[in-house]
Every structure is written in C-alpha cells, then in structure tokens.
Structure 1
Amino acid sequence: MIQETLTPTLSFHAVTVADRDRYLAAAAAEGSPSADHAFANLYLWNETYHQEIAFWGERAIVRFHVKKGYQYLYPIGGGALRPTIEVLLSAEPQLCLTAVTETELEAVLHEFPDTFSFFEERDIADYLYDATSLSTLSGKKLHGKRNHINAFTAANEWSVKPLEAADFDGCRAILDIWGKDRLDDGTQHERVAIERAFAAYEALALHGALLIANGDPVAFTVGSMLSDDTLCVHFEKALPHVQGAYPMINREFVRMMLARFPALATVNREDDMGLETLRAAKLSYRPSMLLRKFTLIRK
C-alpha cells in the first residue's frame, strides 16, 4: 500500500510506475524539454531523492525532501497555473520551486510578480543538442569527435544493437570496471538508479543501445522520449580504456533513435552537476542551447 502524506489540500505519495500515464498526460500538455520533467528520472532516482507526486486538476506536482522540508518542481500540465501555485502557497509558508526553466519562471512571475525572489543555478542547466548534428558530427568544431570515432572503428570489429534485458549483465560488467575506483556517494546512487532502469525497462518505455567491440560490450546508454521530438539521455557509460567508445555510443544511439522516431529534433543530455570535467565534455559536443534553470523562494 502506498504511504501518503497530507497537506490541507494535496495528497502526496512516492512516485510509482502506476503514476506514469497520468503524469505523461500532464507532461504532454506542458511540452517542456526539461530533463527534470522526465517521468523516468522521477522514478529512477526515487531511492536517492525520495520524490513524491500529487495531482491537482490537470497538473502534476512533484516534491522531494531536503534538510528543511521540501522543494517543489514547477507544476506541469494543462489548465490555469495560478490556482495550483495558490494551493502550494497555502500549504508551504516557505515555498521553494527549483529547477524552474526560464519559460516556467516567466509564467510564475506573470501570475505572482511580487511573491518570489529567484536566482539562476548554472550547475543544473540542461544541455540541448541538435539531433542531426549528433548523428553526423559534421563540421570543424566536431572534428575531434570524428577523429576518436575513426580511431575506434580502425582498432575494432564493432557493432551496435538496441539494448535488451539479455544485455543487462554486460552493462553491469561495464559498470563494475567504470566504477572500480569511484567510491563516492554519487556513483553509488547512480548505480542504484541504473538498476531501477533495468528492472522497469519496459514499464518505463526506456530505450537504449549497446556497443560491442571484438565480441565484448564496451559501452551502453539509456534514455527516454520526452516528447515526439525530444530524447532525454539518462545514462551513458563506457569502458575507460577503449578510445572512442563514448562518442561512438553517443552517435550510434542518436542514429538509432532518429530511425525509430523520424520527428526527433532535440537531444537533452541533462546537466553537468557543476563538475568541471563533465561540463567540458558536454560543451565539446557544441550544444544548440543551455536550458537555464532557476530556484524561486517565497519572500
């Protein structure tokens, strides 16, 4: 039985697969490209961030525990925004909305121009890429990626395939090697999230690819469709000693998804968490834009 916590007007419960259809209806009405609104992310990271969900009219409201209570995501969905924010304001005297996109920020401030202070959080900005660009890596600015791929193809007999349940043990072997010297909490939390992805792969309608070199798995990736034209990449892992494995799995997955979803135009590769090496790697693929994120706090 789902454990529920009550506000005066909202009933929250831990995110489950059973919430997916209703949440996706709200997400479709909103049309946001933000990775924070990917249902898969809410479910996969639930053991780390303990997200809870409630539905108010046509909108989905997500919150998660922090040291001093809760933070909320922007309530996505159709219908008027103002009544939903009013419900949250009545329930939370110190309401905090986080990971709010610029479009969402403008919507909130239009309805409540004097209620919130806000600030930008660069570390959680999403990197958005043109899908065709990632599938071809054409142009001078991406010649380094092509060089890495050329080195990979020259050194290996390789193939790529859609990720299936039979491949999960091969992915785990990659994770064991990749994470051998990574003992931080973040790595352990990501491993838990990946295992949740494997366990609910079909239920969450996840997509993935496995890169094989000389008969052995060397890289894998997992993502989900945010909309008909936007793919969100949740995980991407490769054996660190295999040159070119990362750009290869990146390119091949996008090619695979373009063949499956002809309307695909944008790839969201999520944020960099403020990690300098990850930021440099994401910038090196020349994003078409950074999806800025803000935190709003009730004055």
Structure 2
Amino acid sequence: MASIFTPISLDGQAEYLRRFAACPQKASDYSFVNIWGWAEEYGLEWHFGEHLVWIRQTRPESVCWAPVGPWTDVDWSRCPVFSASGGRYIRVPELLAEIWTGAYGGRVDLAETRDHWDYLYDVRELVDLKGNRFHKKKNLLSQFVKKYDHVYHSMTPDCVEAALDMQLEWLSWRDEESQQTLAAENRAITRVLTGWDSLCGVFGGVIEVEGAQAAYTVAERLSDDTLVIHFEKGHTHFKGIYQAINQMFLASDANGYVFVNREQDLGDPGLRKAKESYNPVGFLRKFEARVR
C-alpha cells in the first residue's frame, strides 16, 4: 500500500476540493488549508482512488485518517485500500462512523475521541454578543474599542509579512513548557501564510493598533454555510484583543455564513474552557475506528 501514497501537494488541490465538496460531513481536519498546513508536521500523504481521497499520517506514527469524498455513494465491501489499510483510522467524523457501522456491523469498533470534536458556533451570536451568556465577552470588546486606537481590515497578501513577524513575537512570549507544541503550530502557520496566494478559499482579518499589527485570524470556507477558523493570534498586552478579532472578523468577513467551526481543544483544559465560554451551539463528534 505504501507505494500508492504521495505527499500532499498544491497540484492536487483542485481535485481534492472537488471531492471534499461531495463529502456529506465536513470536519475541520479535512479542509485543504489544514492538511496542507500540517502536511510536513504529520508527514501527511494521500491517494486518489476512484471516488475517495485516502489520507495517511506517517509521523509520529503511521495511521490513516478518514477518507474524503461521497461516502454514501461508496460500496464499502469493494474498497481495496480500506481493506488493506490495517483497519485503524483516526479523526473519523460521526456520520462516517455510522456508515461504517451499518456496512461492517460487529467488525467495526469505535472509540469516541472528545479531544478532537469540532466546536460549532452561530455566527450571528458571536457578532451580536447578546444576553448574559456573552456579557463578559461584550464587556471586554467594549473596553478594547474605547481604549485603543485601532483599525480592522480584511487580510490580504500584503499583510502576510507583518503576520509572520507578529507570530514570531507571539511565540517568544510563551512559557518553555509549551514550546514544542507551539513550535509545531508555528511551522504550520508559517506554511499557510507563505502559501497564501496559492491556497483556495483562505481568508482572514487583521487588527492594527496605532499602525502596528496587533491581531490576525486565518479562516477558510468549509461549505456554503460554514467557515472554519484555523489560527487566531493577538498581542495580549491589549486587553480584549481576542474578543475584538473574533467579533470584528465575523462581523466584517463572514457575511453569508451561518456557522463558524473553531476546531478542537485537543484535550487542553485552558483551551477547552475558552472554547466553551463562547457557548457552542453544537459539536462535530469524531471517533477512532478499528475495522476487523
């Protein structure tokens, strides 16, 4: 099976996006910007089958991700790559887990992976910040707006260099315990930002305070009604900066979208608390699957 997989490349972006569009449930893991950004870190490879794109991770271990494509149109009993894969899959969206359970019955074992659930939010709620549930967020946003001389604008290619500089500065503030994890994220961010002009569907926003970049966000279209936020960074010296970039980006650049996917918490207690504080309207559940 090894010989049929090749590294993720920009050359396959258009065909991948065509098959991703046919996928009936779209998890953040499988957006092209995500697999491209993390391709080197995880040693991601793909294989384009007749209907599906098969994705394999080679670092730090060899394991398959869920295939991408029109799951409901596939005869799973006649899927040779699936049969030869060793049977272990991670990051399997709930709908595909249900399809496999129906196709394989007792031959499939599922384990819920809460750390990888995607958080889903209502765009309008995060723009308006109405009610007691969002009181603290709105208060911090108001403090930021009143205290700092700021400008928000959409992210364009000429913002990339400043974002890269800000990202390196942001990384230098972190504590040593988290440096390895953050360094990996930094490499993914750098890969996405430097490839900005070549990536379809990527967009974002920037806040400048007194003429200098103070926050940025990088997002991507997932479907007609949903966008995903991949990266969001801000100078914490400015109180309320994260509430500001979140609200201003959605208010200015999320027109037409109903939901925003803010990815996983990866089991980090602080990140989980932060994501829950924005009152998600749902989750996209994921599983690890073993097929015998």
What's the TM-score bracket when you normalise by the shorter of the two chains? over 0.9
Residues 62/181 of structure 1: CA separation in 2 closer, same or farther (3 Å cut): same
Partner residue, 1:136: 128
Structure 1 distance, partners of 2:137, 2:278, is 8
Instruction: State the Cα distance separating 1:85 from its structure 2 match.
Output: 7.1
Residues 95-140 of structure 1, C-alpha deviations (whole Å, 9 max, x = no match): 1111112111101111111222111011111000011111111121
CA distance in 1, matches of 2:59, 2:228: 25
Question: 2:196 matched to 1:201?
Answer: yes
Equivalent-residue separation in structure 1 for 2:160 and 2:34 (angstroms): 19
261, 275, 283: which one aligns with 1:282? 275
Change in CA separation of 1:245 and 1:83 when aligned onto 2, cut-off 3 Å: same
Aligned counterparts of 1:84 and 1:74: Cα–Cα separation in 2: 15
> Aligned pair 1:188/2:180, yes or no?
no
Percentage identity across aligned positions?
27
Do the aligned partners of residues 250 and 84 (structure 1) sit closer, same or farther apart at CA in structure 2, a change above 3 Å counting?
Answer: farther
Q: How does 1:169-188 map to 2 (within 5 A)?
A: 169-182=161-174, 183=176, 184-188=179-183
- 1:222 is aligned to 218
TM-score by length of 1: 0.91
Q: Residue 265 of structure 1 corresponds to which residue in structure 2?
A: 258
Task: Point out where structure 1 has 5 or more consecutive residues left out of the alignment.
Answer: none
Instruction: Note if 1:297 corresponds to 2:290.
Output: yes
Which aligned pairs between 1:1-299 and structure 2 lie closer than 5 A? 5-6=2-3, 11-66=4-59, 69-77=62-70, 80-83=73-76, 86-92=79-85, 94-182=86-174, 183=176, 184-205=179-200, 206-259=202-255, 262=256, 264-299=257-292
Q: CA deviation at 1:76?
A: 2.6
What is the aligned length? Answer: 288
Comparing 278-287 with 174-183, greater Cα deviation is found at 174-183
Q: Using a 3 Å threshold, how does the CA distance of structure 1 residues 89 and 176 change in structure 2: closer, same or farther?
A: closer
Q: CA deviation at 1:165?
A: 2.2
> In the TM superposition, what whole-angstrom CA distance separates every residue of 1:129-174 from its partner, at most 9, and x where no partner exists?
0111111111210011000001101111111111122222321232
Distance in 2 between residues matched to 1:68 and 1:253, nearest whole Å? 36
Q: CA deviation at 1:82?
A: 3.1
Does structure 2 conserve the Cα–Cα contact (< 8 Å) formed by 1:74 and 1:104? no
Q: What letter corresponds to residue 197 of structure 2 in structure 1?
A: E
Q: What displacement does 1:272 show?
A: 0.5
Query: Which 10-residue stretch deviates more, 34-43 or 58-67?
Result: 58-67
Between stretches 170-179 and 239-248, larger displacement belongs to 170-179
What RMSD in Å do the two structures reach over aligned CA positions? 1.8
Q: Any stretches of 5+ residues in structure 2 without a counterpart?
A: none
User: What displacement does 1:5 show?
Assistant: 3.9
Offset at residue 57 of structure 1 (A)? 1.3
- Kept in 2, the 8 Å contact 1:61–1:76? The answer is no
Bigger helix share = 2
Q: CA deviation at 1:289?
A: 0.5
Work out the CA distance in 2 between the residues paired with 1:78 and 1:118: 18
Report the alpha carbon displacement of residue 58 of structure 1 after superposing the two structures with TM.
2.1
Give the 3 Å change call, closer, same or farther, for CA 269–291 of structure 1 in structure 2: same
Call closer, same or farther: CA 1:114–1:225 in 2, change over 3 Å. Answer: same
Q: TM-score, normalised by structure 2?
A: 0.93
Q: Name the SS of the counterpart of 1:185 in structure 2.
A: helix
C-alpha displacement at 1:70, in angstroms? 2.3
